[in-house]
A and B are shown apart, each in its own frame.
Chain A
């Protein structure tokens, strides 16, 4: 009898307890460097901006289409210099300050303020001069000093600031607002009670009460905490971790397919580099570069290194980028014989086990990569054996990241490099700093005063042409030609596009993995935790 009463009492007590609040938890790999949405440069700060910032136009990470957010309509005119927005009415910042066109004008002025030097503003500074802003009722206008390619899309990165709120940039228009930051430990974002968006049933979003971003650098610990249920999402899993987790928690792993990221190799073509002349001649020969490209077995890299979770790549745009991908370019088919033929046409010859150039120099070079990246180490081991079949001796050198950056950007004391490029933007303009011969990130031979080769001059022309027109079809035509040149000349040898691999707790609802960053929480306002108490209930 006593036991029975106790059971009833316990049952009543547990039923009276509220369920846990809906709190999403995942890890940031580094400390956020800023909470100012216009000053974001690092990935952690970008995550916080994405979750807290309200934007006029949002790029839907799933459909890759632009969607109206704080602007219900927009018009781009004057050849990409001017943009007009119709603003959404009855919207408030997280502190209750009303949102108006003055906030848009204020944000754009801040964005272009040379004193602030906002990294987000770089994409808008296509010509010298000041920005003009206008504000009439619920319409806002911005006229930039020069044409800005993909002007509307650039606003995906611009979180609107309040012109009048006493809380300044802490007043936000996004689904969450910064509540607490404990350096080295976590960042806590709480639900913005004034967020304007509602779901189909008319319930105010977001569903989650909070997002806790744990600062956790160690990937193994992050995975361990995910397994224990202390984290709900693990972003950017490597294939080995993905396989490990998929055997233990098959329902938790998500492979969204090839991402925008790419693994590539390039050779040092800098005229002033401390390389012997004969080596520079090899590296400046497009036949040599193409032969190396043909001799690398991309399918084996995908199978052996990425356990099948990557796709061989041909050019600078991943198949994940639906619009700009040039489907006419196919990854070079592996053929040691074809590569050797090409090298022989370029004056190289086999002598026993070694390959010699026309002057009798043995073909031997080093390839550097950053330390701590097992995938790169394995890729290099495969490339080493692939090139050995041609008689080329490849010396693998693993350097700490600062030494690697020093070599490829400052003293140019390297021969070839294997690196990863992380792409977040879809538009070709995001790659202008790579393809223009005058650009600092024209990695194989940067900062050229005038293009040193005819094909680089042509590449410059095409990239400038695509940025000067607004018609997407024309831009695509120009950029396809630019991609073709990159493919033919192989200044960068594109190897693979790794898949976007993540782990998601089965308790997390409404997850729609996308290829673009942030793959899992791009629709954070619609995510929910199963069985959790939320403010909506």
Chain B
């Protein structure tokens, strides 16, 4: 592990620790409204100021990190897993199965999934708790977000299947599952990881957008997505740059994760 990786790991650990210890670190609750201190600037009482309802931004950021740091990677993992199974099998098997899967992916991408999300929200019981609502949201995102990565993984698998080392492996008598697990999957790792890391911020932002449809994180629970929605008011952002804290944290966390889990160019043939 390099020094940069160690530093990134420490940083990630600190962020995770801070979010888990939000109850002790944050001076106030994420939902408490200080109506006498609306949109207050940073101070000792409110390290990142308050939002337009007088809620402590620092507390909301810590609790929001807890929600997003857990659920967005979980949704990204789910979508990458589905994409790996579908895209990988299509690229590996080729032939009719590949054609069916490609057609399926195209069809899936062309469907207006927004209506499914709206229908889900309409079908959910009205007294669903904010935690259940956010979990359902990310689970849905994970289940719906596999098609684009699957297409990339299929193409990557196809290239690998026709590569020299795999042809040689086949010529040496290796076949079936052993060929798949020992030679193909390890070489797909960079693609899978890239898809995973691309999906994490994408899901965080999707959750923010879904909030506009009422399917995101319900009030008063914070999430990075909900906090990012505040940035729509660009005048306020220019006047109160500390509102950019969730963006800084999001970029930092994603960069750190990429550094820590960076794969070396060693290909285990």
A contact set with B: CB distance below 8 Å: 240, 244, 247, 300, 303-304, 364-366, 368, 371-372, 377-378, 380-382, 384-385, 395-400, 403, 406, 413-415
B3-11, B64-72, B118-126: which lies at the A interface?
A: B118-126
A378 to B219, CA, bound (A): 9
B17-25, B30-38, B136-144, B160-168: which lies at the A interface?
A: B30-38
Contact between A244 and B235, CB atoms less than 8 A apart: yes
Best-buried of B32, B52, B218, B219 by chain A (most CB within 10 Å): B219
Shortest beta-carbon distance, A483 to chain B, in Å?
A: 30
The chain B residue sitting closest to A394, CB to CB, is: B219
Instruction: Render B21-56 as a binary contact track against A, CB cut-off 8 A, 1 for contact.
Output: 000000000011101001000000000000011100
Does B233 make an interface contact (CB < 8 A)? yes
With beta carbons under 8 angstroms apart, the residue of A300, A372, A381 that contacts B220 is A381
Shortest beta-carbon distance, B221 to chain A, in Å?
A: 10
Asked if A415 meets B126 with Cβ closer than 8 Å, knowing A385-B33, A396-B219, the reply is yes
Does B2 make an interface contact (CB < 8 A)? no
Best-buried of B54, B128, B213, B214 by chain A (most CB within 10 Å): B214
With beta carbons under 8 angstroms apart, the residue of B53, B118, B122, B126 that contacts A378 is B53
Asked if A381 meets B53 with Cβ closer than 8 Å, knowing A396-B218, A400-B213, A400-B214, the reply is yes
Chain B positions within 8 Å of A396 at CB level: 218-219
A398 to B218, CA, bound (A): 8
B contact set with A: CB distance below 8 Å: 31-33, 35, 38, 52-54, 118, 121-122, 126-129, 211-214, 218-220, 233, 235
Chain B positions within 8 Å of A395 at CB level: 126-129, 218
Contact between A399 and B127, CB atoms less than 8 A apart: no
Contact between B127 and A364, CB atoms less than 8 A apart: yes
> Can you name 10 A-B residue pairings with CB atoms under 8 Å?
A240-B233, A304-B38, A371-B212, A381-B53, A382-B33, A384-B219, A385-B31, A398-B211, A398-B214, A413-B126
Contact between B214 and A397, CB atoms less than 8 A apart: yes
A377 to B220, CA, bound (A): 10
With beta carbons under 8 angstroms apart, the residue of B32, B122, B129 that contacts A403 is B122
The chain B residue sitting closest to A385, CB to CB, is: B33
Contact between B220 and A371, CB atoms less than 8 A apart: no
Shortest beta-carbon distance, B232 to chain A, in Å?
A: 8
Asked if A381 meets B219 with Cβ closer than 8 Å, knowing A366-B127, A403-B118, A414-B126, the reply is yes
A385 to B53, CA, bound (A): 11
Shortest beta-carbon distance, B233 to chain A, in Å?
A: 7
Shortest beta-carbon distance, B21 to chain A, in Å?
A: 24
The chain B residue sitting closest to A414, CB to CB, is: B126
Contact between B118 and A366, CB atoms less than 8 A apart: no
Chain A positions within 8 Å of B213 at CB level: 371, 398, 400
Contact between A400 and B38, CB atoms less than 8 A apart: no
A382 to B220, CA, bound (A): 10
Shortest beta-carbon distance, B73 to chain A, in Å?
A: 26
Asked if A304 meets B52 with Cβ closer than 8 Å, knowing A240-B233, A366-B126, A385-B31, the reply is yes
Shortest beta-carbon distance, A393 to chain B, in Å?
A: 9
A415 to B219, CA, bound (A): 17
Chain A positions within 8 Å of B53 at CB level: 304, 378, 381-382
Asked if A378 meets B214 with Cβ closer than 8 Å, knowing A395-B127, A395-B128, A396-B219, the reply is no
Shortest beta-carbon distance, B241 to chain A, in Å?
A: 17
A166 to B32, CA, bound (A): 67
Contact between A381 and B33, CB atoms less than 8 A apart: yes
The chain B residue sitting closest to A397, CB to CB, is: B126
The chain A residue sitting closest to B118, CB to CB, is: A400
Shortest beta-carbon distance, A482 to chain B, in Å?
A: 32
Shortest beta-carbon distance, A390 to chain B, in Å?
A: 15
A403 to B214, CA, bound (A): 11
Contact between A400 and B121, CB atoms less than 8 A apart: yes
A345 to B259, CA, bound (A): 63
Asked if A399 meets B212 with Cβ closer than 8 Å, knowing A368-B126, A377-B219, A381-B33, the reply is no
The chain B residue sitting closest to A398, CB to CB, is: B214
Chain A positions within 8 Å of B126 at CB level: 366, 368, 395, 397, 413-415
Contact between A304 and B54, CB atoms less than 8 A apart: yes
Contact between A403 and B31, CB atoms less than 8 A apart: no
Shortest beta-carbon distance, A387 to chain B, in Å?
A: 12
